[in-house]
Amino acid sequence: MDARQINAINALLPQTQCTRCGFPDCEGYAQAIAQGEAGINQCPPGGAEGVKRLAQLTGLPEVPLSEAHGAEGPRTLAVIDEAWCIGCTLCIKACPVDAIIGTNKHMHTVIESQCTGCELCIPVCPVDCISLVPAHDVEPAPTGWAAWPQELADQARQRYAFHQIRVVRAKADHDARLQAKAEHKLAHIEEASKLTDPQELDKKRAVIEAALARARARRQQG
């Protein structure tokens, strides 16, 4: 797989990370195009102009946008009704570019200048307090690359890269805390457990040791 080709294709994608192309992110879609596993017409946010750019880069024929993956349309922004927000943080976790701020049990807010309109925050909201509003107040509203300039796409790609790093670090920190708790419990199992029977304690000790061994194996594989 040619990394330069993938990077070149990825640079022509709008970086909304919306997954409407059928892949986890824009880079995944770029890899699929480079491998011949996806068409160049599966990105609704890029629209017809995006297909044209990809055709020029790859030498593939320019084709209409795939209806199965959605239609080209005006850019939208997510807005949270703060009166209904319960502070569950699910939308924060779902946002691929960290455009939502807030803390647990406190209302959240969307940073409009960073929102890509990916819509991934909407289905995870348990109280349906997120809606979409037009990003432009002109008629007719621009669509595709006319609505989402390259500068914003480049910024979104950088934020997504940082988001991925942050998620990996957060998981590593979480796993480390769980391991520390498990190791402490293993070292003080008699005091930490309600069990008093030596055989039952040995069984529980074996379960914890096995779980720790699996955790170490996963870290080594990663």
Instruction: Give the integer Cα–Cα distance in Å for 4 and 201.
Output: 56
Report the half-sphere exposure of 130 (CA within 13 A, side-chain side).
Answer: 28
Other C-beta atoms within 10 Å of 190: how many?
11
Instruction: Give the integer Cα–Cα distance in Å for 177 and 173.
Output: 6
Instruction: Give the integer Cα–Cα distance in Å for 10 and 27.
Output: 6
Instruction: From residue 168, give the alpha-carbon distance in Å to each of 59, 76, 158.
Output: 36, 29, 16
Strands 100-101 and 109-110, how do they pair?
Answer: antiparallel
Q: What is the pLDDT of residue 82?
A: 87
| Domain locations along the chain | 3-69, 76-146, 171-221
Instruction: Give the integer Cα–Cα distance in Å for 129 and 158.
Output: 28
* Amino acid identity at 190: E
List the pLDDT tens digit at each of the 222 positions of the chain.
Answer: 688 999 999 999 999 999 999 999 999 999 999 999 999 999 999 999 999 999 999 999 999 999 999 999 999 999 999 889 999 999 999 999 999 998 887 889 999 999 999 999 999 999 999 999 999 988 899 999 999 999 999 999 999 999 999 888 877 665 667 667 766 666 666 666 666 767 776 676 777 667 667 767 766 665
Instruction: From residue 124, give the alpha-carbon distance in Å to each of 88, 90, 94, 114, 173.
Output: 10, 6, 7, 19, 24
Q: What is the pLDDT of residue 14?
A: 97
Strands (E), the chain: 76-80, 100-101, 109-110, 130-134
CATH class of 3-69: mainly alpha
Q: Are 48 and 71 in contact (CB under 8 A)?
A: no
pTM: 0.77
Q: What is the pLDDT of residue 160?
A: 97
From 51, 59, 45, 54, select the one nearest 15 (Cα to Cα). 45
Helices (H) and strands (E) in the chain, counts: 7, 4
| CATH number listed for the domain at residues 76-146 | 3.30.70.20
* DSSP assignment letter at 49: H
Q: What is the pLDDT of residue 175?
A: 65
Q: What is the pLDDT of residue 77?
A: 96
Q: Name the token pair of 162.
A: 């940082």
Q: What is the pLDDT of residue 70?
A: 95
**Which residues touch 87 (CB under 8 Å, ≥6 apart)?**
102, 103, 104, 105, 106, 107, 108
